[in-house]
Amino acid sequence: MQKQMPLILPFIGAIFGGFLYDLFVFTGPSPINARGLGFYKLFHMSDQKRNKRDRERQREDSDNEQV
């Protein structure tokens, strides 16, 4: 098991470092910076309806062409 530890630790460190960066530095929209760590959107219908309307509007826009 000791030989595998150096292979696993960089991945754990990268995930932990990304979490710390998102928590303390990043100010944009992210699940960590969102209300209730992003779980609020999953369980509240008003947010789900708003998200659905936003997605429908984006589909209708001719500017948003998907490849």
What is the Cα–Cα distance from 2 to 15, expressed in whole angstroms?
A: 21
First to last CA, the chain: 46
Per the structure block, which two tokens stand in for 35?
A: 């209300």
pLDDT in tens, 12-22: 999 999 989 98
Q: What is the pLDDT of residues 11-59, one digit of tens each?
A: 999 999 998 998 888 877 777 777 777 676 667 667 677 778 887 887 7
Continuous segment of H or E residues that includes residue 11: helix 5-24
Rounded to two decimals, the pTM is: 0.45
Domain boundaries, the chain: 1-30, 34-67
Do residues 52 and 46 lie in contact, with contact meaning Cβ atoms separated by under 8 Å?
no
